[in-house]
Amino acid sequence: MKSDERPLILCVEDDGDTQWLIQTFLRDRFRVLPVSNGVRMREELDSCGDAIAAILMDLSLEGLEDGIVLTRFLRNSKKWKTLPVIAITGNTYDIDPASAARAGCAAYVAKPFSREDLLRVIEKFRIRH
C-alpha cells in the first residue's frame, strides 16, 4: 500500500517518546501526524483537515489548553463535531473514561498501552487502511 493511501491520524501529544511510540505502532497501517499543542492542532486541521480520519488526543497536555479543552473545541465546531477523538492519558486518577466521554471523546486508551490496545480502539471506527 502506498503511504498516501493510508488514513491520516492526527496525534496531539506533547511527549516526544509517546509520539514516537504511536508512530511506530501505527506506521504500517496509518500515517501519523504528531503535534504537541492546540495551536499546531488547529494549523494542521486548517491545512489537511479533510484528510484526517481520527485524532489521538493526550488529555494531559501542558500549557493553556489541555486535551479536554481541545476536545470541547472540536465538539463545538460544526466542521469537526463528528471527527473521532480518541483520548490517551496516563493521568487516570483525574481523567477517567467518563470524564473523557463528557468532554466529547469517542474512546479512551490509558497509558501505558500496547500496540494491540491502540489498534483495537482505532479499528472500532472502521477507519480504512
* Model confidence pLDDT, tens digit, residues 18-30: 999 999 999 999 9
Cα dihedral sign for 16, 21, 27, 29? negative
Mean pLDDT, range 1-14, rounded to an integer: 83
The DSSP code for 77 is: S
- Identity of the amino acid at 11: C
Domains and CATH numbers, the chain: 7-122 (3.40.50.2300)
Angle at 92 between CA 9 and CA 44, to 5 degrees: 25
CB 53 within 8 A of CB 127: yes
- Identify the pLDDT of residue 80: 94
- What is the helix (H) or strand (E) element at residue 56, kind and residue range? strand 52-58
> Angle CA(128)–CA(112)–CA(129) in degrees, nearest 5?
10
* Nearest to 67, CA basis, from 90, 44, 33, 43: 90
pLDDT at 1 (0 to 100): 47
Average pLDDT over residues 101-111: 92
The residue whose grid cell reads 489498534 is 119
pLDDT at 40 > cutoff 60: yes
